[in-house]
A = this chain, B = another copy of it.
């Protein structure tokens, strides 16, 4: 199994956490987003979306981090990263998507580049944009995680799920951009519980072979 990945990519980080939690080893193929290696012809041929991560396994090539998580869950069911009951699975997926669809896409580097190049947004305006979508997204997550009885030590119950695989990389980015996390105590508490686990530690950006 090969994981096309960039150490700082938040979506790659999600997949690395799932691989670690399941004890599945994958060779890292670094795609340096800073050098635009995702746009090179060889990689575009594999993945016309020019995004990381991508997983190569047994002749199959799967893109999009949440599709990769589902694939890993189906091919390596233990330990499960989704609960059993459909409504509970729905809750976990909904929390994961609240990060993957509502926060992260707005803060991709290609979006920040568009703001700079086409709309003339200076660094302060781009940072404000970045922090705004994190704040809106984390506030909604905090409201759910604080209120819903299914929240446990982790986003859903007593073991990590897809939701934690998505939350931790997003909070990592929030810290990197010095967002104020005080309004999100439940989010921060769950992040702490996750980061106490070796799987999350080993998946961290600094621990990757392509980290600089």
Binding site for B on A (CB under 8 A): 48-51, 57-58, 60, 62-64, 66-68, 70-71, 74-75, 86-87, 89-91, 93-94, 97-98, 100-102, 104-106, 110-111, 114-115, 118-119, 121, 125, 128-129, 132, 136, 139-140, 143-144, 147
Contacts and interface: CB of A to CB of B under 8 A. Distances in A.
A12 B18 CA distance: 29
A125 B121 CA distance: 13
30 contacts: A48-B143, A48-B144, A48-B147, A49-B144, A50-B140, A51-B102, A58-B87, A62-B87, A62-B94, A63-B94, A64-B93, A64-B97, A66-B66, A66-B93, A66-B97, A67-B94, A70-B89, A70-B93, A71-B87, A71-B89, A71-B90, A74-B86, A75-B86, A101-B104, A105-B105, A114-B132, A118-B125, A118-B128, A119-B121, A119-B129
Given A67-B90, A71-B86, A106 B101 contact: no
A87 B105 contact: no
A60 B144 CA distance: 14
Given A66-B101, A68-B90, A115-B119, 4 more contacts: A57-B87, A62-B91, A67-B91, A70-B89
